[in-house]
Amino acid sequence: MDKMGKVLIVDDFSTMRKVIRNLLKQLGYENIVEAEDGVVALDALKKEKIDFVISDWNMPNMTGLELLKRVRADGALSKTPFLMVTAESLKENIVEAVKEGVDNYIVKPFTADVLGEKISQIEKKYS
């Protein structure tokens, strides 16, 4: 992803969205939009061109996993790079997310360096 590309942060906690936004800015990303759950995120994805999704797992209304499934099932969105953020690293959760097509996952809390590395790994996959 070009650093001019648009990143969508999905998290029900506004402070976490702000923390991730700050980390992305440290990494050089400026074009950032936010959604508070999967429902709002899906709406945003259908209305505007999003180049990269960073989504929390555990959210009310629509979880990150459900959002991932909807994105992968939608022809126009199915190739959108998707990084899952989770507060835990339960093996069965990770296996399920990989099965549904997640590109990578990151366990909270994390630093800008770790986030940058995960994004780079996904960028290589899509380049």
Partner 1 sequence: MEVQYINPFLEGTLHVVKTMAFIDARPGKPYIKKDNVAKGDITGIIGIVGSIRGSFALSFSEGSILRIVSNMLGEEIAELNGDIEDAVGELTNMVSGAARQRLEAIGISLTAALPTVVRGKDHSIVHVLGGPSIVIPFETDSGTFVADVCMRKDGG
Name the residue nearer to partner 1 (CB basis): 47 or 92: 92
Distance CA 71, CA 77 (A): 5
120 in contact with partner 1 (CB under 8 A):
no
Q: Which amino acid is at 76?
A: A
14 in contact with partner 1 (CB under 8 A):
yes
Interface residue with partner 1 among 108, 116, 122, 123 (CB under 8 A) is 108
From 9-17, 27-35, 45-53, 71-79, give the range in contact with partner 1 by CB under 8 A: 9-17
- Cβ proximity of 102 and 68 under 8 Å: yes
107 in contact with partner 1 (CB under 8 A):
yes
113 in contact with partner 1 (CB under 8 A):
no
Distance CA 72, CA 61 (A): 19
Alpha helical stretches, state H, the chain: 14-26, 38-47, 64-73, 91-99, 112-126
- Cβ proximity of 125 and 52 under 8 Å: no
The mark string for 48-77 relative to partner 1 (x by CB under 8 A, - otherwise) is ----------x-x-----------------
From 13-21, 37-45, 46-54, 96-104, give the range in contact with partner 1 by CB under 8 A: 13-21
Distance CA 75, CA 18 (A): 30
Residues near partner 1 (CB under 8 A): 13-16, 18-19, 22, 58, 60, 86-90, 107-111
